[in-house]
């Protein structure tokens, strides 16, 4: 089984993850990939209008599980959730410069959702303590989700994280990537790669102590 990934820089790294928590899983597009890599996955999606598609995709793969939760830094808080006409891109935050950058995207409707946290899921034994790969793509709400995952992060089992970030907030109230980096380094997760697109957002790859043997570049 290939456990090597290639970063956009061309660096090859050994990717030794076995359990992923994917928050903002959309329709479960990554479930098959995780399954093929032998990674057990917990997939979380807030949008109730696409959850059934996520559930069906996840149920077709071995050792993949789905939950319909709106994750935040607080439990049992009722929040607005903004559903877009594209469904993808829906968020707890209102659109900011996204409207200018993607003019075809329109707000379809706003619904009310009750929040929970990653740490509450941990407390309820819905996710394991040995998650080693964290993925968060919640359209600007990433920092709030991270703040609700402090107990999980404090366990220091997460070796990799892939977090959607923005150079400058593109949703109202969004934290920028510097704030995310500063938060994660307190949990031994350091930015390894980020390449922003022309609209100022990117998927940032974090790794714990990647200068150690586990993250050393594999020679071609």
Where is pLDDT greater, at 7 or 214? 7
List pLDDT tens digits, range 97-138. Answer: 666 767 777 888 999 999 999 999 999 999 999 999 999 999
pLDDT at 153: 98
For the cut 60, the answer to whether the pLDDT of residue 24 exceeds it is yes
pLDDT at 218: 46
**Reported pTM:** 0.90
Calculate the average pLDDT of the chain: 88
For the cut 90, the answer to whether the pLDDT of residue 67 exceeds it is yes
CA neighbor of 34 nearest in space, from 20, 48, 46, 45: 20
Q: Which residue has the tokens 């740490």?
A: 119
Where is pLDDT greater, at 103 or 202? 202
pLDDT at 219: 47
CATH code reported for the domain at 16-210: 3.40.50.150
* Half-sphere exposure (Cβ direction) of 150: Cα atoms closer than 13 Å: 7
């Amino acid at each position: 089984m290939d456990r090597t990934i290639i970063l956009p820089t061309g660096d090859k790294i050994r990717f030794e993850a076995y359990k992923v928590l994917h928050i903002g899983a959309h329709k479960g597009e990554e479930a098959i990939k995780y399954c093929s890599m032998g990674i057990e996955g917990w997939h979380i999606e807030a949008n109730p209008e696409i959850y059934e598609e996520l559930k069906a995709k996840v149920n077709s793969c071995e050792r993949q599980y789905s939950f319909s939760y709106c994750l935040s830094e607080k439990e049992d808080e009722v929040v607005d959730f903004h559903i877009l006409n594209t469904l993808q891109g829906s968020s707890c935050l209102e659109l900011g410069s996204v409207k200018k950058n993607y003019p075809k995207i329109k707000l379809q409707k706003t619904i009310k959702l009750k929040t929970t946290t990653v740490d509450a899921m941990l407390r309820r034994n819905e996710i394991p303590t040995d998650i080693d790969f964290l993925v968060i793509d919640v359209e600007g709400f990433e920092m709030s989700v991270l703040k609700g995952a402090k107990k999980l992060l404090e366990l220091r089992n997460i070796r990799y994280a892939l977090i959607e970030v923005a150079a400058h907030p593109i949703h109202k109230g969004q934290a920028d990537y510097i704030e995310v980096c500063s938060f994660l380094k307190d949990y031994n997760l350091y930015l390894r790669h980020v390449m922003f697109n022309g609209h100022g957002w990117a998927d940032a790859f974090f790794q714990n102590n990647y200068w150690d043997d586990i993250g050393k570049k594999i020679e071609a």
